[in-house]
């Protein structure tokens, strides 16, 4: 395996696939979908090969490729993988095919749609493996472009302002990011994650985007921001992070707590999930910021950062699965997705409700499912580092339970709403998307070592590099 | 390492497997699901008996063995889980698997008409697995994980008849109320972890309940002058308050009676609600750490007072309820208060002893009430019962035994001895005698309300049946064509468990008297001896007589109010209400705690939600417009900069990049043109900066 430039192959595979799919005739939808999935599966196989061949004991970069690119500017083509990159690649390789499979009901210009998804995946692969700032930024922008078109062209009509709001934010953040000023980068990532009060684009975008695109947005793209914090800000700017620690922690706590309360006030399933997403990524930020605290031990920082990376992966799987369930529900209800639109669905669709229930409880942080360990590790790490922030973030855990159980109560329980008396249960095709993800949630919940084995050496490596 | 220690994990895993398999079964596989559940519980019971045998006869430190294993790596350390085998574990697993098996068997009869029979047994097995895991856990994190899973199982089973809005609401309320306690519990765990660096209870001297760690925690003073050990103890106790229905988080437990009656018997009487008591017993070495300058351990003082107040509160409410299950539910709240009080003032053996005996007779009472409800065609209101004695003789006889054990009728019922043990230690409690009198008052009320219930249900003549079509209590029932409105005795599959439990209630007495206090001593890992002096010393005897008199008073008064002249019609006014209308209204209204919470916390939560939502809208509007203006402004500046500065430098420098960037910006037409354009310009700027940097 050593001779092959695996990462480059992986990055360009979806881009080549995208080019192929763009060329497919508009009417040949199945061909376009098939080609896309084939490219996705190949990519997944490649990531799996990387996963297997990685040397877990080593925390540094592996599989590096380094070539001169623009010598006059000192720009190199430099890619490589550590635990964080590998976990993020796996996430992108898993979530994008899920989103494509969940797009069965999209019949409008399928080749363009599928091609854009592949394009997006290529951009993500590039961004998660880049070790050169220029290269990384190029791919970050590259992943924004297909996302923009996917939302613009396939989203709800009432969405003009939403997209503009989002891209105004992201573009603004990105524009700043390059000035290589700490504050610019900070703001850029803060918008992307998002950190309160830069979060308002997110519920709007997630709810207006076509649901499979929301899956990709929440599952992988939202991780780009946290990735930026972990990969760039913490290692490069630990001192400024430390200087700004208190306000940053307040913002992270505000993100966690205010977003859960806001979620509780929502009446649209997708908006609820969107706020819940903000909440979950808020825990990631709490962990990253706390790691810049001067008190505490290396072990506390290691625990917090392990929790952050684990939470990134777990949230990616769980949140995209939840959006996927909403997509299936919308397919059945002609787009209805209000909290009050349903009632008693468990009677007619028990399997659907049961599996979605597993995903919801995972999002709630039920032990035994994947969500719990990440949150536990974050709190375990943050508490000794900055006790007050950990304590103030706790209400988030409680209110999350309230709104998630409210969803279950309103949508599934109570007397059956006669309007949906003929609502079909989960189909086999849908099951094919849902079952593997559900299985993964159980595996990670019971046997976290499976993924922590990859993350832990990398995190330990970072913590050794930190100046405090 | 002994065989049973090595394989202790099988005790929870067997029911877990049963749950997993029956989750995949289709609805018609009823007997397979029930068989799997009962079979796995039976097998776990056998293993539990082996565990019991392994701890029996060992004393002191030798009675405890632990087995730990690696779960995942963290930094240079490893997070380890494990299980522990000691008398506490063994007694609990034996009780749970035994009572659980009987309740499972009872459920076969009780749920026989339910269409989701298979799913019911799946959830029951899941519950049993989580509960048994909680007991054997040698790691607070593992205990917490199982703790949350029993909460999930309880949620699923309370809401089992999900088509009833009341059941769905009760399930949610139960989960959320207990989670309030759990959040503090979680904080306690995290804190304990950061103080001691381990969550293993016992780890050959390095565990968090062992001497080194405890000494470290008690020496560390934190906020408010509390030692870390006291603060952590209090936080862990918050979890127990939620789970065990203690004041002020008791509100979910009576509502949980919306679940099928076997669930109430298993989860909300015998096992899960006792998990809080068990938790306090498990971390007792931590709870009893005494910090300098305080006469009593602070956590145990909290445990005592909360327990005593809950004991009297539950009893006061139970006096006036009319739903047969709700009376028992408040009685459970009250008895859990007793257990807490027992732990707080008397130690592990006293509290756990009452937990074990209570599990038997309360399961018996709940199953008995299930049998009555089943026999009376889903009627739960005791005012619509009466005279059931002659229709259901077996149920009556067993229920009477349970009632006497709960009331604490002297000598032959185990409930008397375990409650007496609590009162006995309360009498010797140094700081205050109030808990003793609260406990004694509770004992009086318990005897009173149980007599009231017995009289309503079994005495007089049958008052139901006039409108038996009235069926707002859940699952559809059909008793075949010949529909008799009279109550009927339940089938053998339901009465047999009742008889076994009734027999146990009496037989347990043999090992629990002060004459031969085998069970309490076993729990402490000590050998018991027949010691007549213990029974006949003056203090013990006086107290026996006092509590005997109190119980007799309660039963007598109950009989005088309700037994002498049994109610004739369902809508008659309660005799107690005629005497004390105002106090009765408070009791009937459950002291309006639910209403208070609805008017405060629930409302505030909703308000905060709205507030955050509105805040978001304002922030969005405001910030988006600011950003819109800024971006447009920047774009204009950038444009000027582009035309007058960059172009010239750039043409000379790196034209290729620019052409590429222009091509890219061509791609991005439409509304956001200007934003993307500004990005393009910024890219060029960046390249420019780099170029300048490189050429130096």
Residue B537 distance to chain A (closest CA, Å): 51
Does residue A142 sit within a domain?
Answer: yes
* Angstrom distance (rounded) from CA B663 to CA B679: 13
- Neighbour count for residue A233 (Cβ, 10 Å): 21
Say if the Cβ atoms of B670 and A415 lie within 8 Å: no
Claim to verify: residue A4 and residue A135 sit in the same structural domain = yes
Q: Say yes or no: A102 and A179 in one domain.
A: no
Angle at A24 between CA A21 and CA A29, to 5 degrees: 90
Chain B positions touching A452 (Cβ under 8 A) are: 72-74
Whether B25 contacts chain A with CB within 8 A: no
Residues of chain B with pLDDT under 70: 1, 465-484, 515, 527-538, 620, 623-624, 627, 631, 641-696
Tell whether A345 and A452 lie within a shared domain.
Answer: yes
Rounded CA separation A430/A449 (Å): 29
Which residues from chain B sit within 8 angstroms of residue A372, using beta carbons?
A: 145, 148
Q: Kindly report, residue by residue over A125-170, the tens digit of the pLDDT.
A: 988 988 887 778 788 877 888 887 888 778 765 555 545 555 555 5
Last residue in a domain, options A124, A154, A184: A154
User: Does one domain contain both A202 and A312?
Assistant: yes
Question: Would you say B161 and B119 are in contact if contact means Cβ atoms under 8 Å apart?
Answer: no
How many angstroms away from the CA of A347 is the closest CA of chain B? 8
Counting the structural domains of chain A, the total is 2
- A222 and A312, same domain (yes or no): yes
Residue of A nearest to B187 (CA): A391
Contact B141 A376 (CB under 8 A): yes
Cβ atoms within 10 A of the Cβ of B622, count?
A: 12
Judged by CB atoms closer than 8 Å, whether chains meet at A171 and B679 is answered as: yes
pLDDT over 70 for what percent of chain A? 92
Q: Is A234 exposed, middle or buried (0-12, 13-18, 19+ CB in 10 A)?
A: buried
Nearest CB to B613; choose among A148, A262, A368 = A262
- A179 and A150 share a domain? no
pLDDT of residue B664: 55
**In-domain check, residue A160:** no
Across the interface, whether the CB atoms of A383 and B175 are under 8 A apart is answered: no
Residue A159 forms part of a structural domain: no
Contacts of B660 in chain A (CB under 8 A): none
Asked if residue A161 belongs to a domain, the reply is no
Which of B163, B190, B616 minimises the CB distance to A200?
A: B616
Residue A80 lies in a domain: yes
Question: Mapping DSSP to helix (H, G, I), strand (E, B) and coil, where does residue A108 land?
Answer: coil
C-alpha distances (whole Å) from A16 to each of A9, A95, A98, A144 are 10, 19, 20, 18
What pLDDT, on the 0 to 100 scale, is given for residue B364? Answer: 92
Examine the domain organization and report whether A201 and A135 are in the same domain.
Answer: no
Q: Which domain holds residue A89?
A: 1-154
Verify whether the Cβ–Cβ distance B675 to A168 is below 8 Å: yes
Give whole-number Cα distances, B2 to B6, B46, B53, B85, in Å: 6, 16, 12, 11
- DSSP states along B139-192: BHHHHHHHHHHHHHHHHHHHTSSTTSHHHHHHHHHHHHHHHHHHHHHHHHHHHH
- Per-residue pLDDT, B438: 92
> Do A118 and A259 lie in a common domain?
no
Q: What is the mean pLDDT of residues A244-268?
A: 89
The secondary structure element, H or E, covering residue B486 is none
Reported as a single tens digit per residue, the pLDDT across A214-235 is: 888 888 888 888 888 888 888 8
Nearest 5°: CA angle at A358, between A357 and A359?
A: 90
Whether A10 and A146 share a structural domain: yes
Choose from B148, B613, B622, B674 for mutation: most chain A CBs within 10 A: B613
Chain A's closest residue to B77, CA to CA, is A299
- A242 assigned to some structural domain: yes
Q: Give the separation between CA B491 and CA B496, rounded to whole angstroms.
A: 9
Residues A259, A143 within the same domain: no
- Give the residue from B69, B672, B674, B685 with the most A CB atoms within 10 Å of its CB, the best one to mutate: B672
Q: Are residues A314 and A459 in the same domain?
A: yes
- pLDDT at site B206: 86
Q: Would you call A201 and B75 a contact, using CB atoms and an 8 Å cutoff? A: no
- The sign of the torsion formed by the CA atoms of B505, B510, B512, B513 equals positive
Are A343 and A204 found together in one domain? yes
Can you tell me the ipTM of this complex? 0.91
Name the band, by pLDDT with cuts 50, 70 and 90, for residue A391: very high
- Residue that terminates a domain, selected from A154, A178, A209: A154
**B597 — contact with chain A (CB < 8 Å)?**
no
Give the minimum alpha-carbon distance from B200 to chain A in angstroms, rounded to a whole number: 15
Residue A162 lies in a domain: no
Among A101, A123, A154, identify where a domain stops. Answer: A154
> A393 in a domain, yes or no?
yes
d(CA B91, CA B520): 10
Structure tokens at B683: 């890219």
Q: Do B672 and A148 touch (CB under 8 A)?
A: yes
CB contact under 8 A, B612 and A391: no
| Mean per-residue pLDDT of chain A | 84
Contact A345, A276 (CB under 8 A): no
């Amino acid at each position: 395996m050593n001779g092959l430039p695996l990462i480059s192959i992986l990055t360009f595979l979806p881009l080549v696939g995208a080019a192929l799919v763009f060329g497919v005739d508009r009417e040949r939808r199945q061909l376009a979908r098939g080609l896309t999935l084939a490219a996705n599966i190949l990519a997944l196989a490649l990531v799996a090969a990387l996963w297997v061949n990685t040397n877990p004991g080593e925390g540094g970069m592996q599989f590096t490729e380094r070539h001169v690119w623009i010598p006059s500017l000192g720009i190199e083509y430099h890619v490589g993988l550590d635990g964080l990159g590998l976990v993020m690649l796996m996430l992108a390789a898993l979530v994008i095919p899920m989103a494509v499979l969940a797009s069965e009901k999209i019949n409008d210009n399928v080749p363009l749609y599928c091609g854009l998804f592949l394009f997006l995946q290529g951009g993500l692969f590039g961004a998660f493996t880049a070790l050169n700032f220029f290269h990384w930024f190029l791919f970050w922008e590259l992943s924004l472009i297909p996302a923009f078109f996917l939302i613009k062209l396939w989203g709800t009509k009432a969405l003009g302002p939403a997209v503009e709001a989002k891209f105004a934010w992201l573009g603004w953040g990105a524009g700043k990011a390059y000035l290589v000023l700490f504050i610019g980068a900070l703001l850029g990532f803060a918008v992307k994650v998002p950190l309160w009060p830069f979060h308002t684009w997110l519920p709007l975008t997630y709810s207006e985007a076509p649901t499979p695109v929301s899956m990709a947005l929440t599952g992988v793209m939202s991780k780009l921001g946290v990735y930026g914090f972990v990969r760039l800000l913490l290692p490069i700017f630990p001192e400024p992070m430390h200087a700004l620690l208190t306000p940053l922690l307040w913002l992270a706590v505000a993100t966690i707590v205010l977003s859960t309360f806001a979620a509780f006030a929502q009446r649209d399933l997708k908006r609820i999930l969107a706020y819940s997403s903000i909440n979950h990524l808020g825990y990631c930020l709490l962990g990253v910021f706390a790691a810049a605290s001067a008190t505490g031990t290396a072990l506390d920082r290691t625990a917090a950062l392990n929790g952050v990376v684990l939470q990134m992966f777990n949230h990616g799987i769980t949140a995209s699965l939840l959006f996927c369930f909403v997509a299936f529900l919308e397919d059945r209800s002609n787009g209805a997705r209000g909290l009050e639109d349903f009632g008693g669905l468990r009677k007619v669709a028990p399997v659907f409700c049961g599996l979605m229930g597993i995903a919801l409880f995972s999002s709630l942080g039920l032990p035994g499912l994947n969500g719990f360990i990440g949150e536990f590790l974050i709190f375990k790490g943050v508490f000794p580092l900055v006790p007050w922030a950990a304590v103030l973030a706790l209400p988030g855990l409680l209110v999350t339970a309230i709104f998630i159980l409210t969803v279950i109560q309103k949508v599934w329980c109570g007397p059956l709403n006669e309007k949906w008396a003929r609502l079909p249960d989960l189909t086999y095709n849908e099951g094919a998307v849902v079952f593997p993800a559900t299985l993964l949630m159980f595996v990670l919940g019971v046997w976290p070592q499976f993924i922590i084995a990859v993350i832990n050496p990398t995190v330990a490596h970072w913590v050794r590099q930190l100046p405090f | 390492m002994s065989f049973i220690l090595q394989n202790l994990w099988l005790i929870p895993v067997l029911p877990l497997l049963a749950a997993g398999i029956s989750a995949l079964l289709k609805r018609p596989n009823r007997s397979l699901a029930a068989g799997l559940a009962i079979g796995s519980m039976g097998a776990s019971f056998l293993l539990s008996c082996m565990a019991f045998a392994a701890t029996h006869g060992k004393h002191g430190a030798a009675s405890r063995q632990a087995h730990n294993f690696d779960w995942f790596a963290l930094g240079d350390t490893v997070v380890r889980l494990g299980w522990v085998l000691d008398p506490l574990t063994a007694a609990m697993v034996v009780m749970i698997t035994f009572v659980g098996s009987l309740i499972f068997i009872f459920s076969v009869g009780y749920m026989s008409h339910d269409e989701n029979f298979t799913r019911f047994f799946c959830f029951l097995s899941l519950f049993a697995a989580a509960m048994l895991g909680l007991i054997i856990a040698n790691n607070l994190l593992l205990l917490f994980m199982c703790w949350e899973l029993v909460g999930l199982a309880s949620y699923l089973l309370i809401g089992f008849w999900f088509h009833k809005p009341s059941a769905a609401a009760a399930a949610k309320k139960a989960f959320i109320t207990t989670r309030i306690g759990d959040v503090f519990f979680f904080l306690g765990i995290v804190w304990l972890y950061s103080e001691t660096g381990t969550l293993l209870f016992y780890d050959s001297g390095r565990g968090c309940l062992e001497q080194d760690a405890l000494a470290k925690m008690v020496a560390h003073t934190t906020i408010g002058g509390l030692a870390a050990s006291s603060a952590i103890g209090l936080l862990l106790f918050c979890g127990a308050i939620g789970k065990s229905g203690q004041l002020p988080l008791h509100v979910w437990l009576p509502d949980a009676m919306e679940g099928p009656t076997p669930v109430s018997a298993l989860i909300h009487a015998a096992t899960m609600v006792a998990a809080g008591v068990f938790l306090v017993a498990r971390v007792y070495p931590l709870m009893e750490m005494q910090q300098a300058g305080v006469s009593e351990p602070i956590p145990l003082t909290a445990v005592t007072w909360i327990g005593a107040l809950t004991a009297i509160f539950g009893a006061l409410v139970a006096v006036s309820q009319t739903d047969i299950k709700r009376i028992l539910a408040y009685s459970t709240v009250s008895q859990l208060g007793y257990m807490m009080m027992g732990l707080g003032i008397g130690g592990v053996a006293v509290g756990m002893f009452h937990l074990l005996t209570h599990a038997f007779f309360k399961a018996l009472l709940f199953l008995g009430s299930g049998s009555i409800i089943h026999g009376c065609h889903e009627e739960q209101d005791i005012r619509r019962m009466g005279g059931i004695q002659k229709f259901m003789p077996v149920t009556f006889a067993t229920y009477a035994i349970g009632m006497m054990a709960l009331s604490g009728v002297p000598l032959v019922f185990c409930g008397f001895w375990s409650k007496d043990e609590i009162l006995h230690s309360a009498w010797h409690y140094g700081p205050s005698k109030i808990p003793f009198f609260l406990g004694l008052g509770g004992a009086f009320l318990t005897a009173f309300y149980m007599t009231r219930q017995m009289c309503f249900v079994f005495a007089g003549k049958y008052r139901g049946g006039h409108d038996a079509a009235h069926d707002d209590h859940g699952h559809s029932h059909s008793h075949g064509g010949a529909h008799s409105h009279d109550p009927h005795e339940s089938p053998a599959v339901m009465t047999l468990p009742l008889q076994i439990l009734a027999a146990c209630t009496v037989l347990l007495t043999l090992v629990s008297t002060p004459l031969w206090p085998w069970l309490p001593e076993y729990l402490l890992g000590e050998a018991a001896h027949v010691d007549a002096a213990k029974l006949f010393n003056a203090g013990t005897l006086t107290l026996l007589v006092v509590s005997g008199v109190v119980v007799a008073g309660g039963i007598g008064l109950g009989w005088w109010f309700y037994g002498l002249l049994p109610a004739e019609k369902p809508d008659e006014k309660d005799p107690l209400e005629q005497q004390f209308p105002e106090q009765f209204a408070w009791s009937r209204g459950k002291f309006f705690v639910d209403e208070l919470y609805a008017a405060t916390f629930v409302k505030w939560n909703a308000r905060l939600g709205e507030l955050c939502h509105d805040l978001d809208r304002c922030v969005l509007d405001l910030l988006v417009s600011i950003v819109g203006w800024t971006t447009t402004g920047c774009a204009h500046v950038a444009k000027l900069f582009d035309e007058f500065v960059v172009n010239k430098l750039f043409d000379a420098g790196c034209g290729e990049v620019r052409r590429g960037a222009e091509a890219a910006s061509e791609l991005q037409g439409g509304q956001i043109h200007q934003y993307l354009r500004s990005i393009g310009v910024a890219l060029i700027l960046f390249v420019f900066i780099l170029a300048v940097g490189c050429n130096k």
